[in-house]
Each structure stands twice: as C-alpha cells, then as structure tokens.
Amino acid sequence: MRLLPWLTAALIREGANTALANKLREIPTDTRKLQTGSNVFDEHPASKHIAMVVSGIAARISQFHDAPFVASLYTTGMVFNFEAFHFDGEASPVVTKTVSIIEYVEVLRLRAMMPNSHFLDRTLLRGMMLETCMTESWAIKAKSLRATSRVANLVCELAWRERCSLGSSPAFHFPLAQKEVARMLGYSPVHLSRAIQELRDRRLVRWEEDWVKVLDADALVKLGQFSPAYLESALRFAIHPATHVLAAE
C-alpha cells in the first residue's frame, strides 16, 4: 500500500498535523493488476477515484480534431486523476501501456474521513493543477515538434523522471515496443524508426530493445527543446511529496 502514505506526506507538507494526516491510513484502498491496453477506470469510475501507478506505465488519451493522442504519461510512483475530487463528470480515459499495478482510493472515503479539511482540498487542488500543466505541455509538444525532436523530448522527459537529472549519461528501462511508442506519439512505426535511427546516427542515444541510454544530454535537450520546468513541481509533488516536508524543515 503506497497511495495513502503518499497522501499523508502531501497533507503534512500542506501544514496538516501528523495526527490529522495519519487518519487517512485507516481508509481501505484497492490494488489491481491490469494487462496492457486496459482502461484504468473500467471497474473504478474516474469520477470517484484517485489512483497511483505502483508499477508500469499508463497514459491519458485525449482527442484533438477527432484524432486520439496521449495527453499525459504516468510512470511508476505517480498519483493522478485529482480532478475526481473536484468534478463529477466524464474524464478522458487512462489506458495501461504495459502490464501495470494500479492502486485506487475512493474520493468519498477521503471526504468522510476528513470533512471540511482545507489541507485535503489544497493537496488535491494542487495535484489537479500540476496534472493540467503536464497535459497542456504534452498537447503543445505533440503539435509543434517534428518527429525526431518529439522523440528526443520524450527521451529527455523519461530520463529526467527516472533521475530528476540528465547528468552522468542516464539510462532507463522503457518496456514499450516501438510500435506502441509510435502509436502513443501519433506516428507510424516506420516514421518512429527513422526518428530513433537519426538519434542513433547523431550519437545522442543508444536505444536497444527496452533500454535507452542518453549519450549526449546537451545536444538531446537542444534538439528536443526540453525544459524540465513543467516537470519539476509536478513530479516532486506526484512522486515524492515527503521531500517537500524535509526541505521545509
């Protein structure tokens, strides 16, 4: 169980006392193993649940001019779907891109345990705002970068998510087949293959099966027009809220 400790740490960061925050640990959660291509909120309605990727990769699928595109990518440790706490409407679907373990908590249980808590409101509103920023960034990149630059940007983002840094030639596990990466970015497999080969030819990355290694971070960042600004607050909040508590002390 990882989701409730995450919420507890996030509440403390917002100023809640430890006793109040620890009340959340009494709430039951549900953990499911989902196969690739599963709708994360198929059995747990998106309007009623917040979720965490315990392991695996999931993506939020939105529509642009009637064509689907990935609006957000959720990797291991990320908490998402904060809008369930504030809006009771239809959300865009979240689909697993690998075999994934997802943990859920029901919004009504949070409300019942901590009624009228401005600490809880602030925590989840902050999460919703940061998730919105990430979604907007993905939408902009999807429509403004050519294929090679878009793939370079994706590699930078995934490496930064893994290490919160692009130093020391980071390598990371990326267990998606290239045809799935192509579908996720809205390219044909041939188009994606050419983009990856260009990155290899320029000695920017080594991409072998399910491992990617950054060889020239500075050149990759420049090509992909990557800036971690949109990720820094979002990921530190959505993965490691406790780091803010330690920093504040």
* CATH code where residue 219 lies: 1.10.10.10
Domain co-membership, 166 together with 107: no
In a domain, 243, yes or no: no
Q: For 182-241, how does the pLDDT look when each residue is reduced to its tens digit (9 = 90+)?
A: 888 888 999 999 999 999 999 999 998 889 999 999 999 999 998 877 776 665 665 554
pLDDT given at position 248: 32
Q: For 76-132, how does the pLDDT look when each residue is reduced to its tens digit (9 = 90+)?
A: 888 888 876 555 556 688 999 999 999 999 988 888 888 777 888 888 787 787 777
Domain co-membership, 111 together with 148: no
φ, ψ for residue 110, nearest 5 deg: -65, -45
Number of domains in the chain: 2
Domain co-membership, 155 together with 92: no
Domain co-membership, 37 together with 114: yes
H or E segment to which residue 60 belongs: strand 57-64
In a domain, 167, yes or no: yes
Domain co-membership, 193 together with 114: no
In a domain, 85, yes or no: yes
Q: For 60-88, how does the pLDDT look when each residue is reduced to its tens digit (9 = 90+)?
A: 887 666 667 788 888 888 888 887 655 55
Domain co-membership, 99 together with 151: no
- Domain with 205 in it: 144-229
Domain co-membership, 47 together with 154: no
Looking at the chain, the number of H-run helices and the number of E-run strands are 10, 10
Q: For 8-61, how does the pLDDT look when each residue is reduced to its tens digit (9 = 90+)?
A: 888 888 888 888 778 888 899 999 999 999 999 988 887 789 999 999 999 988
Domain co-membership, 18 together with 110: yes
In a domain, 109, yes or no: yes
In a domain, 242, yes or no: no
pLDDT given at position 246: 31
Indicate the pTM of the whole model. 0.80
In a domain, 35, yes or no: yes
Domain co-membership, 105 together with 163: no
In a domain, 240, yes or no: no
Q: For 147-156, how does the pLDDT look when each residue is reduced to its tens digit (9 = 90+)?
A: 999 999 999 9
Q: For 164-193, how does the pLDDT look when each residue is reduced to its tens digit (9 = 90+)?
A: 555 666 788 888 888 888 888 888 999 999
Which domain-ending residue is among 84, 119, 154?
Answer: 119
Structure tokens at 8: 């507890």
Q: Is 155 exposed, middle or buried (0-12, 13-18, 19+ CB in 10 A)?
A: buried
Domain co-membership, 162 together with 114: no
Structure tokens at 197: 């080969």
Higher pLDDT, 144 or 197: 197
Give CA separation, 41 vs 56, 83, 93, 102, in Å. Answer: 15, 13, 7, 10
Domain co-membership, 165 together with 86: no
- Alpha-carbon distance of 108 to 215, in angstroms, equals 47
* CATH code where residue 87 lies: 2.60.120.10
- Alpha-carbon distance of 36 to 97, in angstroms, equals 5
